[in-house]
Amino acid sequence: MQNHITSSLNEAQAALTALLSNPAALATIEDAAQLLIRVFENKGRVYSCGNGGSMCDAMHFAEELTGRYRLDRPGLAATAISDAGHMTCVGNDLGYEQVFSRYVESHGRPGDCLVALSTSGTSKNVVRAAAAARALGMEVIILSGKRSEALEALSTVYICTPGGQFADRVQELHIKVLHILIELIERKLFPQNYASAAD
């Protein structure tokens, strides 16, 4: 059993090392942070979505923005598309491929931003959500684990973090990216929370 534990941790470490050594990918994370900062500075809202574990990450991202990350500060306007009533209604009546896009169409406004997660890059409901957001004049940040021409074409910022053969390593990188985005947002909008920390 120990060999499986060390193998899993080594694999996770290799995925993180690969991201750290990819300047282009790191630049997209910075671009995403700057975009989100502009959205909040202009009183826009951020919506997030994903399937399965990616939905859990989308929910975590939103609650860290509306609640708190490390220290107290005012809440930021963020919503994960995860309401059970909405999801089951749209899934039943219109099809699962529309569960995110229908929400975006109902709530999104120009100047808002969609943060959409798809480890595979092929999630049809995420592609539709990104298309709906762009049609409304929203910004779109995509987090994926594989290159996706469809999602990349619809994105304002496309963050690709390959993590290995399966989705779990990608999800581990995604939650790190999301935490970094939150920290960068806070450092810009609430610098007093980091006054004692090194730049």
**Predicted confidence (pLDDT) at residue 198 exceeds the cutoff of 70:** no
188-193 long-range contacts, CB within 8 A, separation 24+: 188/33, 188/37, 189/37, 189/40, 189/41, 189/73, 189/76, 190/71, 190/73, 190/74, 193/70, 193/71, 193/73
Q: What is the mean pLDDT of the chain?
A: 96
196, part of any domain: no
CATH of the domain at 17: 3.40.50.10490
pLDDT of residue 180: 98
7, part of any domain: yes
199, part of any domain: no
81, part of any domain: yes
The whole domain housing 103 covers 2-191
What's the pTM?
Answer: 0.95
Number of domains in the chain: 1
pLDDT digits (tens, 9 = 90+) for 1-36: 999 999 999 999 999 999 999 999 999 999 999 999
198, part of any domain: no
